Amino acid sequence: MHQVIGKIIDSTEKRVKDIENTSTYSDIHNTHKRDIGYAIYKAKKDSIVPVIAEIKPASPSTFYKDIPPQKAVSIAKEMEKAGAVAISVLTEPEYFHGSIDNLKFVRNEIELPVLRKDFIIDGIQMDEAHSDLILLIASILGDRLDEFVSLAQSKGLEPLVEVHNKNELENALRTRTNIIGVNNRNLDTLEINLQITSELAPLIKQYDSENGTNHIIVSESGIHTTDDVKRLIQYGADALLIGTSIIKSDDIYSKTKELVEALK
């Protein structure tokens, strides 16, 4: 694992220790979960690309823009208006400049399903704020992945299990997750290669064909142009998680719409 990821995990462990497990969080999971599967199905039926657009203030190497909660809401509404099927909100504060408040504000102000994007290493993180989906990274959770998938589902959260290679994929397929995210970024080197989706998506489809299951495949990272979108859909992705190229744009609405309508 790349040293930057190691530092993020260390930071997350310190953050977890500061989370207060109080009654404030006791009933957040009673909120109705918005159906990402139906949103993706409807988009595909309408011949538009199911884009999960991400509110991403920064990456570990680059700061994009300051995004306080009200700005996050404004950005999310532009993405929603442009046809995104869901909104991903980064909540990791130190390296991605995200926040739980951004997640809360966005979830309260839009109608789309909302994904919490963070480094989840402790179940208590699932009780900080409500979301419809939660990212679980296979390479980080390892043998605990199945436990975390089950815990998320018991709380009414839809886990999006992120994998990068065949071993992680096999681990993910042993869980009850309905959604598998294929990360085109190698977390050991941080290099991006869109071919990762072309290698893993067919394996998921083969597994589904042999086992009577139906996983949703989400391709993540390195998606900037309509050509990238077309390639990944051709490789077998059902939806695309797109952050950097949208958030860097001077026109969030137009860039989101351009990617959503890439197949038209």
Q: Known catalytic residue: 184?
A: no
Are 235 and 198 in contact, with CB atoms under 8 Å apart?
yes
The two tokens of residue 100 are 């739980």
- Candidate list 56, 104, 255, 257, residue with the active-site label: 56
Helix residue ranges per DSSP H, the chain: 3-18, 36-45, 69-81, 100-109, 138-141, 145-154, 166-173, 195-211, 226-235, 244-247, 252-260
- Candidate list 78, 99, 104, 117, residue with the active-site label: 117
Q: Known catalytic residue: 166?
A: no
- Candidate list 128, 158, 162, 168, residue with the active-site label: 162
Q: Known catalytic residue: 7?
A: no
What number of other Cβ atoms are within 10 A of residue 41's Cβ?
15
- CA of residue 140 relative to chain centroid, distance: 15
CA–CA distance, 67 with 183 (Å, rounded to integer) = 24
- Candidate list 99, 102, 131, 183, residue with the active-site label: 183
Q: Known catalytic residue: 220?
A: yes
Q: Rounded to whole angstroms, what are the CA distances from 36 to 112, 171, 224, 253, 261? A: 8, 23, 23, 21, 19
- Candidate list 92, 128, 158, 220, residue with the active-site label: 220
CA–CA distance, 229 with 209 (Å, rounded to integer) = 25
Q: Known catalytic residue: 88?
A: no
- Candidate list 88, 131, 171, 221, residue with the active-site label: 221
What number of other Cβ atoms are within 10 A of residue 193's Cβ?
15
CA-CA-CA-CA dihedral for 222, 225, 228, 232, to nearest 10: 90
Q: Known catalytic residue: 162?
A: yes
Q: Known catalytic residue: 258?
A: no
Residues taking part in catalysis = 54, 56, 117, 162, 183, 220-221
